[in-house]
């Protein structure tokens, strides 16, 4: 317990933001030193101003109906370990303290200055890989294009829940600029689902066209946020089953149960 708390105390002293945010170079170098654990995992990548945490949890539960699934979310409410789960079981304190300390030493030896979230992202990738998982429900931390989660190259699907004014000092002070940052998780030939409040739609249509990514826009009137999130999950489920039918044909869970 003491070593775990000491590791977290050291992590909490790490800078939250980088002075030059417009780069994933340090993340790419660090994951390379770790053996690129992300390359053995298949991701459902979720971004959005609101609703992304809820959709991340729902997509994880959906995937658990066919196989064990990792879940990466932020921030945590009561325990740091909430951020990294497998089948709703939190990462152990022992794993956190051992590997965070390894990462601190590795970064120092390699002259890499990582942010708080970059360390946590590396911890999640290493853990999911060590757990021999196939699927991960993967929530962005901030924005999308330059978020540390965006080192993945070919997600099963990208999901963007909503666009609104958040972190404007970093993402931009217009909805167009914020949408462009979120649209950065759209990848070549990978399907993408966006929610009804992801306007301006043109930003996502243009990005999807450039990336040859099949785009689904969820539309309609919804009773509440949960109803809207369920519609986004349902559209994502349909996309997974249509594009990867042999892998996901056994998904049988009812969306309302998520």
The CATH number of whichever domain residue 151 belongs to comes to 3.40.1190.10
Residues 6+ apart with CB under 8 A from 12: 116
Residues 6+ apart with CB under 8 A from 78: none
Q: Does any domain span residue 200?
A: yes
pTM, full prediction? 0.93
Q: Does any domain span residue 100?
A: no
Q: Does any domain span residue 9?
A: no
Gap between the Cα atoms of 228 and 23, Å rounded: 33
Residue 16 is predicted with a pLDDT of 82
Q: Which of 169, 177, 112 is nearest to 145 (CA)?
A: 177
Whether the CB-CB separation of 167 and 143 falls below 8 Å is answered with: yes
Q: Does any domain span residue 6?
A: no
Q: Does any domain span residue 196?
A: yes
Residue 75 Cα distances to 56, 142, 247, angstroms: 13, 11, 31
Tally the domains of the chain: 1
Structure tokens at 175: 């909805």
Per-residue pLDDT of the chain (258 residues; tens, 9 = 90+): 689 999 999 999 998 877 666 689 999 999 999 999 999 999 999 999 999 999 999 999 999 988 999 999 999 999 999 999 999 999 999 999 999 999 999 999 999 999 999 999 999 999 999 999 999 999 999 889 999 999 999 999 999 999 987 655 666 668 899 999 999 999 999 999 999 999 999 999 999 999 999 999 999 989 899 999 999 999 999 999 888 866 666 665 555 555
In sequence order, which ranges of the chain are alpha helices (DSSP H)? Answer: 2-12, 25-33, 52-64, 93-109, 116-130, 168-171, 175-182, 201-210, 225-243, 245-248
Q: Does any domain span residue 234?
A: yes
Q: Does any domain span residue 223?
A: yes
Residue 110 is predicted with a pLDDT of 98
Residue span of the structural domain in which 228 resides: 40-89+134-257
């Amino acid at each position: 317990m003491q070593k775990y708390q000491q590791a977290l105390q050291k992590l909490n002293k790490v800078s939250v933001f980088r002075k030059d945010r417009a780069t994933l170079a340090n993340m790419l170098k660090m994951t390379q030193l770790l053996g690129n654990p992300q390359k053995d995992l298949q991701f459902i990548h979720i971004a959005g101003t609101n609703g992304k945490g809820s959709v991340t949890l729902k997509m994880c539960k959906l995937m658990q109906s066919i196989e064990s699934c990792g879940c990466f979310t932020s921030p945590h409410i009561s325990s740091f370990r909430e951020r990294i789960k497998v089948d709703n079981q939190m990462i152990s304190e022992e794993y956190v303290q051992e590997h965070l300390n390894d990462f601190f030493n590795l970064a120092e030896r390699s002259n890499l200055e990582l942010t708080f979230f970059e360390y946590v992202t590396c911890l999640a990738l290493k853990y999911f890989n060590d757990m021999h998982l196939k699927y991960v429900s993967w929530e962005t931390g901030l924005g999308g294009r330059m978020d540390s989660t965006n080192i993945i190259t070919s997600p099963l699907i990208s999901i963007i829940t909503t666009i609104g004014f958040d972190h404007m000092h970093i993402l931009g002070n217009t909805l167009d600029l914020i949408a462009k940052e979120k649209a950065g998780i759209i990848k070549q030939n990978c399907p993408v689902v966006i929610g009804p409040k992801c306007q301006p739609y043109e930003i996502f249509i243009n990005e999807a066209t450039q990336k040859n990514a099949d785009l689904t826009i969820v539309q309609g009137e919804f009773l509440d946020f949960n109803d809207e999130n369920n519609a986004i999950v349902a559209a994502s489920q349909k996309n997974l089953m249509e594009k990867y039918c042999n892998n996901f044909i056994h998904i049988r869970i009812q969306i309302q149960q998520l």
